[in-house]
């Protein structure tokens, strides 16, 4: 097995992308935040606001900020000047469904940026709602699709 992030002496290193061709790269990730029924009802009744303020609007801003700063959080992620980052959040029954789509014209992909954006948005929702309940569950953080570079990927089925 070849380890891409180890040098000849088996020390951690960033992957050299200098010889790669720049192309448009896009990735979409998703996360779920499951609420107790009373919390979901309170959010609906209060225009998606908690005692801390507008929950989904705040999470959208946080998700975009997180995606843009992924290289500061994940070792060996290349710093990317994201050209687009869109975070959407829908309340479906008792679950907030977060989607983060990121795109860039670069030599490396944006999967980690999309996953980070979705994760930070989910954590922000938890923080904004924890005064209502600590029985909130973040789960199903996953990559839905990526395009560009050497390969493309699309999740075949959603569990």
| Residues labelled as active-site residues | 127
Residue 60 sits at φ, ψ, to 5 deg, of -65, -45
Q: Which of 112, 145, 139 is nearest to 35 (CA)?
A: 139
> Could you tell me which residues come within 8 angstroms of residue 130 by beta carbon, excluding any fewer than 6 positions away?
136
Quote the distance between the C-alpha of residue 3 and its chain's center: 25
């Amino acid at each position: 097995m070849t380890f891409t992030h180890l040098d000849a002496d088996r020390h951690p290193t960033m992957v050299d992308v200098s010889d790669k061709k720049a192309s448009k790269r896009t990735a979409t990730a998703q996360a779920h935040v499951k609420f107790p029924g009373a919390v979901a009802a309170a959010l609906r009744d209060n225009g998606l606001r908690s005692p801390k303020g507008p929950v989904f609007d705040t999470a959208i801003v946080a998700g975009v900020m997180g995606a843009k700063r992924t290289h500061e959080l994940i070792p060996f992620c290349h710093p990317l000047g994201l050209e687009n980052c869109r975070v959407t959040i829908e309340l479906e029954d008792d679950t907030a469904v977060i989607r983060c789509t990121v795109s860039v014209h670069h030599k490396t992909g944006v999967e980690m940026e999309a996953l980070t954006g979705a994760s930070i948005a989910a954590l922000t929702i938890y923080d904004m709602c924890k005064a209502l309940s600590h029985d909130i569950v973040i789960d199903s953080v996953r990559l839905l699709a990526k395009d560009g570079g050497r390969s493309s990927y699309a999740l075949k089925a959603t569990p």
